[in-house]
Amino acid sequence: MGKKILKGVGILAAVLLLVVVGYVVYVFASYSRIEDHQVLEPENNKETLVSAETEYTITTFNIGFGAYSSDYSFFMDGGTESRAFSRDAVIDNTDGTAKVIADIDPDFAFFQEVDLDSTRSYHVDQYEMLKQWFPDMASDFGLNYDSAYLFYPILEPHGKSVAGLATFSDYKIESAERRSLPIDTSPMKFVDLDRCYVVSRLPVDNGKYLCLYNMHLSAYTKDGSIREEQIDMLSEDMSREYQAGNYVVCAGDFNQDLYGNSQDIFHSKQETPGWAEAFPRERLAEGLQLKLPEIDGSLVPTCRNADKPYVKGDNFVTVLDGFILSDNVECISVENIDAGFEHSDHNPVKLQFRLKK
């Protein structure tokens, strides 16, 4: 009897080992980076050109794949959930984030963590939902990552993720391109996935171009060097456009503390997590400036720590989202919008700007 039990245990262990080895082989075999310099096709394009010396409004919002209602926590941040609570929750949160931006009625709108067909968001096509919310705007979409099936956590795997960056515009998008950012080459690449930014080039009535950079930098890295490499690449690309006489507006989720001292500003009860590194402004090329709201008692954070449900004043909060402008773009105002982290772990940011002649 004992031998039979041992034999059964041995067979079970062998099967489990084969499953684990097979899965590891699958993950490595299926991994590949998305092509760099990928040309994107604008949809529902417009004929109207951007004008110099005209005031415009642009927003940026990481919608968190429609999962992050205020009572949601994420396993990779130390929380409990690996997927959204339900398909209905994804739809409700996506509609909620879209409505916040629709109420602002911007001329240009950036969205990050927009899922097309992901396990974590119950295969809701969020880009299609956003296009329904903004039917009169042109748009383009760059795939940030198309991951293998992540079989973790075991009881409710995160699954396969297909997600990216959506850019909307009231004005003609002449061309758009997806650029691959440097990423971690260690096994962390299977967790932090691929990373990119999208450059949308809009013709201006003075013969120049407005270059809109929609980006989402790495969050889970082994050290800070990958983030610095990403910033260097982005900065060099933007600098080339600026040196060519074009206008640059960059926005998105930097995944770094843009002020560098959020705990001193917001006085959260939680300690500063390890991922909240200060953004290295000194790495920006000459002619590029980070634009942030003034620090005062009304400053709104743009991201909450998602290791537990949100309670104002309790969770660590910071500013990860913002804008970089070239010196030939006038910043009229910049404002972090208080959406209460009701439908995302981020709050949107609104910028009013003008292109100088």
Three-state SS string over 124-161 comes to CCHHHHHHHHCCCCEEEEEEEEECCCECCCCCCCCECC
- What SS3 class is residue 201? strand
Q: Residue 106, preceding bond cis, omega within 30 degrees? A: no
Separation CA 69–CA 88 (nearest Å): 12
pLDDT score, position 41: 98
Q: What parts of the chain have a pLDDT lower than 50?
A: 26, 189
- Token pair 């097309």 is found at 116
Q: What is the pLDDT of residue 1?
A: 60
Work out the burial of residue 67: count CB atoms within 10 Å of its CB; fewer than 13 is exposed, 13-18 middle, 19 or more buried: buried
- Note the pLDDT of residue 101: 99
Fold assignment, 37-355: Deoxyribonuclease I; Chain A (3.60.10)
The CB density around residue 205, as the number of other CB atoms within 10 Å, is 13
Model pLDDT, residue 26: 47
Give the pLDDT score at 32.
Answer: 57
- The pLDDT assigned to 21 comes to 62
The pTM of the full predicted model, rounded to 2 decimals, is: 0.93
